[in-house]
Chain A
Amino acid sequence: MTTADERVLVVPLPVSLRSAPGTARVRGHEVAMATVDDGFVEFVRERSSALLRTARLLCAGDRAAAEDLVQDVLARVYCRWSRIVGDPEPYVRTALFNAAKHRWRRRSRRVAEAQWDDALMSEHPSAEGGHEDQLAARDVAMRALAQLPPRMRAVIVLRFFEDYSEEQTANVLGCSTGTVKSQTSRGLTKLRGLIDLTGDRVEEPR
């Protein structure tokens, strides 16, 4: 039997954590729970914006869904926080993609992602002037992502937003590199018709 956490947190743990309990936890047992909590909160404060950006793309712009996804992953990761040695971000990022994958699988319980313009307008109710062009460009990008099936969207995000290699992407998503290649190819084909990929520079909002 596996728990929901085990399905999501399938990232291989560092070797020291897979050894028998008590043999490689010298550092761990000296850490009081208060320190563990402090470390967790510090990590979330520093890295949650980056995680949220990835989640926003995975959720095709739905702000609430993205925040829920990140919160859910962080809550799961917290339960194992004391066992993570080294930089926790790769672990958390992989858990994020796994959580997204399982979230999509639970289609019957899936809440439809908000329309991009709804989310956009509630976030920027007073968008003005030149800023509107940038918002429109992002609207286009998010609408385009929303057109992709979730798994294809995850491949695109991993490959072109996270700059993962095909092998790394396949590892995270639990599929073959062949699948990654085909999903990437199909995704790009779809996006070509929705986004201008000719190389014109997109300005980032200031």
Chain B
Amino acid sequence: MNTESDALGRVLHAAVSDVDTPLGFAEAALRKGKQRRKRVRAAMVGTALAITAMVGGLVSSVPVWLADSENVTPASDPRLGRPTGGDLAGDAELLSQSRILWNRELKALLDRLLSNAPAGCWDALGEPHVYWSGRTGAGPASVVMQAIRTTDSCFAHIARGEFTAVGLIGTDSTGKGVHLLGVTLKGAANSEEEVFLFGPDDNTVVALQESGARYYSRRAEVQADGKVTRDWHALSYRDGVATVVIPPAEPRPQPQNDPAFAKRTQAQPGATVPPEDRVRPFSTARSRGMVTGHGNVGYFGWLNLQGHLGGPRLEFAERLRRFNDVLDRMGYSDPAFRGAARARPGELTLIPMAPAGRQGESPSTLQGVTPGLAGGWHVTAVLPDGRTVIVGEEPINNSVHTYAVLWRGDVVDQVIHGAPAERDPVLPVNIRMPDGQGWIVARQGAKLKWRSTTGVWTDLPGDAALLPADAEMVNVTAPGIPSTNVTLGT
């Protein structure tokens, strides 16, 4: 710099050299910053409402012959007009990105949740509203809402009308980017409440106060005698949203967590949670799995097992009722999901994935059958001592437990707990009957043979069998599985 520039610099520095901030300047700046953040949130909501009203007004002002027969109005859900809550509500970039992702990914997800509903089954009304945006154990997340109207072209079992779609924007559990992870459309189709599970192993919870969930239980504990209990903890809400990180269970991969939510706390760890107190969460791992093609089933769900080995032949619904009743009544099922309408987060939606030709099927034909287990399996047999048995599966903590219920006549005699199945077991059903009554083994579609201590292999006619007590090993051959010997009791 030249002399003139230097001189000007010195003049300017000298002019302000004794300028200092007054006392309390920093605290005043903080206070004003907080006030400003509140004003910005309110203004953004106001703008969103104005746009919503404007769009609604424009649509409703088109000529009748162009407009739909139903009036298009903004949803009446008051949450759509509330200021954005959460500790990242002032992050305009995050809010903007949340709305962009919502607009980009809502269709794919909602179409899947509506069981591959045909295009045009629903319309989005107005603009999406970011209800909450904050930090969670699985990174920043946003709860976004938008009014949705289902249309005449929807299936019969999807209610028609206006609903609020509530979705969670966050990091995919596989760590592959930020997406719209899941959407509930309470009242229209799926029965999940606005309690989202996401993050690794669905271990992070974002629950909305309107869901009614006040308590959560990390996982069901299967006691040594096979009975199942749960501990409950209170959820803490702030700005209408509670976030919780559920620590992973050890040892991994099993047993896994399977969080449950309730409106009231339970007096006893094993007490059945009344259906009216249950809050069914939304597993985003499952919904993302539906979109990406990767997901965890959590039950065998066999449809074609040749499981009838003897005794009275019962319809599936009757077998299911008898089996579930005993497990529920005697405490062998998850207390958070007991009852005829036991619906679990792993089973996603009340709407069965209808195969071609069944799209118009009435829900009444499937009443009482848990959707995920529709057309499921049991092994029924008569033991050498005359007792009858039903062997079935019970999903607990997202893994499959096998149970055998034994009757002597019409009286329940005993319940036997099989070990939880591994992720991809060679012989999933492998359960010893009490009092030397043998073994029940099964794998759908497998060719089975067994041998005793004599070492002689005996072929079995089906994919399920009641083996004598001296059976020692089963050989399993199935599609994708080479001939494998499984030692019983290991």
Contact = CB atoms under 8 A, between A and B. Distances in A.
A151 interface: no
Contact of A48 (B29, B93, B140): B29
Contact of A202 (B11, B35, B135, B138): B11
Given A200-B7, A201-B10, A52 B21 contact: yes
B16 A75 contact: no
Nearest to B25: A48
A54 B22 CA distance: 16
B32 A71 contact: yes
Interface stretch (A25-33, A106-114, A171-179): A25-33
Nearest to A200: B7
Given A56-B16, A134-B14, A204-B13, A83 B22 contact: no
Interface string B1-32: 00111111111111111111110011111101
Nearest to B142: A21
A141 B30 contact: no
Contacts of A200: 7
Contact of A22 (B6, B14, B139): B139
B177 A23 contact: yes
A191 interface: yes
Given A44-B25, A202-B10, A20 B15 contact: no
Most chain B C-beta atoms within 10 Å of own C-beta, residue among A28, A41, A141, A156: A141
Interface residues of B, number: 57
Contact of A21 (B9, B16, B40, B140): B140
Nearest to A23: B178
A141 B12 contact: yes
B176 to A, nearest CB: 10
A163 to B, nearest CB: 7
A18 to B, nearest CB: 8
Contacts of A204: 13-14, 17
Contacts of A33: 87
Given A5-B40, A79-B33, A67 B135 contact: no
A197 B6 CA distance: 9
A141 B22 CA distance: 23
A71 B29 contact: yes
A163 B15 contact: no
Contacts of A57: 12, 15-16
Interface string A4-47: 01100000010001101111011011000100010011001100
Most chain B C-beta atoms within 10 Å of own C-beta, residue among A138, A160, A205: A160
A188 interface: yes
B140 A28 contact: yes
A202 B5 CA distance: 13
A37 B29 CA distance: 11
A137 interface: yes
B92 interface: yes
Interface in A115-140: 134, 137-138
A165 to B, nearest CB: 11
A197 B8 contact: yes
Given A3-B40, A75-B35, A75-B36, A82 B10 contact: no
A41 B177 contact: no
Contact of B28 (A6, A53, A71, A203): A71
B135 A197 contact: no
B322 interface: no
A22 B9 contact: no
B26 A78 contact: no
Contacts of B92: 3, 5-6, 79-80
A42 to B, nearest CB: 8
Contacts of A23: 139, 171, 177-178
Most chain B C-beta atoms within 10 Å of own C-beta, residue among A20, A48, A82: A20
A199 B9 CA distance: 10
Contacts of B32: 71-72, 74-75, 78
A195 interface: yes
Contacts of A154: none
Interface string B140-166: 111000000000000000000000000
B412 to A, nearest CB: 50
A161 to B, nearest CB: 4
B17 A25 contact: no
A43 B43 CA distance: 28
A25 to B, nearest CB: 5
A100 interface: no
Contacts of A161: 9, 12-13
Contacts of A205: 14, 17-18
Nearest to B38: A79
Nearest to A1: B47
Contacts of A137: 11, 14-15
B313 interface: no
Contact of A138 (B6, B14, B171): B14
A61 B5 CA distance: 20
Most chain A C-beta atoms within 10 Å of own C-beta, residue among B29, B43, B170: B29
A49 B30 contact: no
Given A1-B47, A197-B7, A141 B14 contact: yes
A178 to B, nearest CB: 19
25 contacts: A1-B47, A3-B43, A3-B92, A5-B40, A5-B92, A21-B91, A23-B177, A41-B29, A44-B25, A44-B26, A44-B30, A48-B21, A52-B21, A56-B15, A72-B32, A75-B29, A77-B33, A78-B37, A79-B90, A80-B90, A160-B5, A160-B12, A161-B9, A191-B8, A201-B10
Interface of A: 1, 3, 5-6, 13, 17-18, 20-23, 25-26, 28-29, 33, 37, 40-41, 44-45, 48-49, 52-54, 56-57, 61, 67, 70-72, 74-83, 134, 137-138, 141-142, 156-157, 159-161, 163, 188, 191-192, 195-205
Given A5-B40, A141-B15, 8 more contacts: A20-B97, A21-B93, A29-B140, A78-B37, A79-B36, A79-B37, A161-B12, A197-B11
